[in-house]
Structure 1
Amino acid sequence: MKKIDEDALAEAYNRALALEKAGDFDAAAKAYEEVLKIDPEDHGGAAVRLASMGRGETPPKAPDAYVETLFDQHAESFEDILVEQLNYAVPVMVRQRLQDLKLGPFKRMLDLGCGTGLTGGTLRDMVEDITGIDISENMVEIAHEKDLYETLYVAEVEDFLEDNDDEPFDLVTATDVLPYLGALEPLFFGAAENMVPGGLFIFSSETLPADDGRPYIVGPHQRFLHSESYIRERLADTGFEIIDLSEINVRMQDGQPSPGHLVISQLTRAHD
């Protein structure tokens, strides 16, 4: 791996951000392309910023290096920002929906993108054994200190699902994971492969406002937005049946609600 020229990278990235802020998207795009040449792994998320400006291809997911860096940097203040400032309450909504629908208790839960343990903590008394996965080592350390999980792994979600050969799970959650993924096939197939038939797969998404035929885009906050029809199709293709799909506000962003969906699906057919 060749060493990154940090000064040149910072200069190009700051220039790109300033141009993007000023609304000069063509010049910003050129600067972000420079950023990608200096740092092909894309720790700064230039690819998703290009896509959010409507420049370049929409990537199938946010770059691993970017997601890892983002969450490693924010691990210490993560819960405060998410819960206090952004009014993020998806884990509580998951618990409420499970109780309303009289679903659970569960034996084995897999918490994908577990972060600091918000979802694991909220569902702890409904599950015997919880495994948490997150790409950010700093996040996993904080989750570990809380003593909520039987097992924790530092891993990229899709890689983990592909390689895992632990016992299957009867509950898989992915709260606030979809905004970092565009194409959902690897996640949905991976979840199905790691579940018992009849198991529940629960996730939140941020919604693409007009269903204009595009499955997903990168929105103005560099987060992926998915169309409801794409989510429904992909679940059906992967052997899931939707038990409950509710419209929610995922978080506040710049004082505006981020509309999304909370989906509870059940694996109804096993894979060959």
Structure 2
Amino acid sequence: MSATATSYDPIRKLLETATQQIEKNELREAAETLNRAQQMWPNDARVFMLAGLMAEKSGNIPAAFDALRRSVALDPLWTPGELQLALLYARRGMYDKAIAHAQKLTKREPNNALVLAHLVDFAHDSGNMELAISELRRGLTYLPKDVQMRRWLANDLQVTGQHAEAYDVWTSLIEENPQDQMALLGRVTTLIEGGKASAAIPDTTSLIEIDPGNSIYAYYSAIAHGVTPDHQPPELNRRMFDSMAETYDQHMVRGLGYQLPKIVAEKILRRFPTKSMNVLDLGCGSGLLGVCLGRIDGFLIGVDISTKMVEQAGRHGVYDRFHTVNMLDALRETPAEVYEIITALDVFIYTGDLKATVPNAHRILMPAGDLYFSCEIAPENGPDLVLQPNGRYAHKRSHVLALCKEAGFEDVQIEDLVLRREAGEPVNGFLVVAHKAA
């Protein structure tokens, strides 16, 4: 079972039983089983590794760290013990330590594919794309045909703007398997992001032939043909944000300097200092606005297409209810005059056209209610709605102002600001506060 086991292994059965008990959440029974194992073999690293996993499952994180560190100390050359310690650090968001332990293991076992995969995961979760790419290149030196590693590498190259090399890796995958939908879609998005949308037409055609009813493929086909879709498919948003959920807060706030929830919460609390209000948080994501508002004297309702984002938001304990639905459907189906406040922060950059959204928001606001939303800014000398190469929509300031006025908002304030920073560069946009008449 491990490097600590010998041909004579009197506790193997006990360890297997304890593992099953932990998986079934039978923690009291697992503790008793591990105690019996430790009495028989007091200094077995496996016992302490399982004790660490059991402690984590019970919510005793300090005990989990203590047990896993003891496991490593007892058998410093046993890879499973140190890998579990690295994974615990990662699950607690301590990525520097997780990476350090994983890198130590890769030096000892450079061809261990499991350790490599976890190290790449840690690099991704911490936003260290340079490390992820470096490790994937290393892994491909001993597993050159590994499809998953090549997909990861192509995606990471694409994310970091290395479009030419990403294109080459996607192409090599497609040459081996022309039906590889992930590779075909990867090459499509690489071409679009690189400003070569029309070159993606053959691949979008292939994708639609493989799956004719796929709304994501239809969306990218429209872009390849020079058409700006009014909205992104909900399935695309769900897939993207589900994959980001666990690290979203750290990535946005620490990595990109995202301060919009804090700014808007401060404005709301100045307007409602007693917190007596009902709030609809559209595209609530991981609940950053709720964290900044705290508990309110009213209902705080979150709407998001991503189940995993909603799970993260629920952990803060400030939202009263969630609706995991398409935001546009939620707005259309909500009765009139329900909320004092509606927010949509960093949301319309994914939903696109606002012609129905703004009037519906006006309808469901209480008299004297406020709508807060942000947009990335499009040039005033261009179209009202622009789909940027990065896949996000930008809106023309004057068009948004006109939409708010047409919807019936009495007063509309628009504030230019930097929404966040990407690759060290500011992402320029604006915050709208639209006030409904009393």
Residues 183-219 of structure 1 show CA distances to partners (whole Å, capped at 9, x for unaligned) of 10221122122111110101111100x2125111111
Which of 103, 108, 119 lines up with 2:271 in the alignment? 103
Q: Is the 8 A contact 1:41 1:63 kept in 2?
A: no
| C-alpha distance 259-153 of structure 1, shift in aligned 2 (>3 A) | same
Q: Is the 8 A contact 2:336 2:363 kept in 1?
A: no
| C-alpha distance 38-194 of structure 1, shift in aligned 2 (>3 A) | farther
1:244 corresponds to which residue? Answer: 413
Which of 156, 180, 188 lines up with 1:8 in the alignment? 180
| C-alpha distance 106-240 of structure 1, shift in aligned 2 (>3 A) | farther
1:34 corresponds to which residue? Answer: 206
Rounded to whole Å, the distance in 1 between the matches of 2:190 and 2:401 is: 38
Q: Secondary structure in 1 aligned to 2:342?
A: strand
| C-alpha distance 166-18 of structure 1, shift in aligned 2 (>3 A) | closer
Correspondences of 1:1-272 after superposition (within 5 Å)? 7-20=179-192, 24-39=196-211, 40-43=213-216, 47=219, 51=223, 55-98=225-268, 102-104=270-272, 105-125=275-295, 128-165=298-335, 168-208=338-378, 210-268=379-437
Q: Secondary structure in 2 aligned to 1:75?
A: helix
The structural deviation recorded for 1:34 is 3.0
Q: How many residues align?
A: 259
Structure having the larger proportion of residues in helix: 2
Over the aligned positions, Cα root-mean-square deviation in angstroms equals: 2.6
Could you tell me the TM-score, scaled by structure 1's length? 0.85
Q: Is the 8 A contact 2:413 2:433 kept in 1?
A: yes
Moved more, 102-111 or 118-127: 118-127
Bigger Rg, which one: 2
Q: Which has the higher contact order (CA 8 A, sep 6+)?
A: 1
The gaps in structure 1 that reach 5 residues or longer are: none
One-letter amino acid of the counterpart of residue 41, structure 1: N
Rounded to whole Å, the distance in 2 between the matches of 1:23 and 1:162 is: 35
The structural deviation recorded for 1:106 is 4.0
Q: Is the 8 A contact 1:204 1:263 kept in 2?
A: yes
Q: Secondary structure in 2 aligned to 1:240?
A: coil
Rounded to whole Å, the distance in 2 between the matches of 1:132 and 1:264 is: 19
The gaps in structure 2 that reach 5 residues or longer are: 1-176
Rounded to whole Å, the distance in 1 between the matches of 2:289 and 2:221 is: 28
Rounded to whole Å, the distance in 2 between the matches of 1:118 and 1:252 is: 17
Moved more, 61-70 or 239-248: 239-248
One-letter amino acid of the counterpart of residue 271, structure 2: L
Q: Is the 8 A contact 1:198 1:267 kept in 2?
A: yes
Could you tell me the TM-score, scaled by structure 2's length? 0.54
Rounded to whole Å, the distance in 2 between the matches of 1:206 and 1:22 is: 20
| C-alpha distance 20-199 of structure 1, shift in aligned 2 (>3 A) | closer
Q: Secondary structure in 2 aligned to 1:207?
A: strand
Residues 1-54 of structure 1 show CA distances to partners (whole Å, capped at 9, x for unaligned) of xxxx995312311332454566654322332343344344344x7736963x7x
| C-alpha distance 37-235 of structure 1, shift in aligned 2 (>3 A) | farther
Residues 120-144 of structure 1 show CA distances to partners (whole Å, capped at 9, x for unaligned) of 2112255532011101111111111
Structure having the larger proportion of residues in strand: 1
| C-alpha distance 127-262 of structure 1, shift in aligned 2 (>3 A) | farther
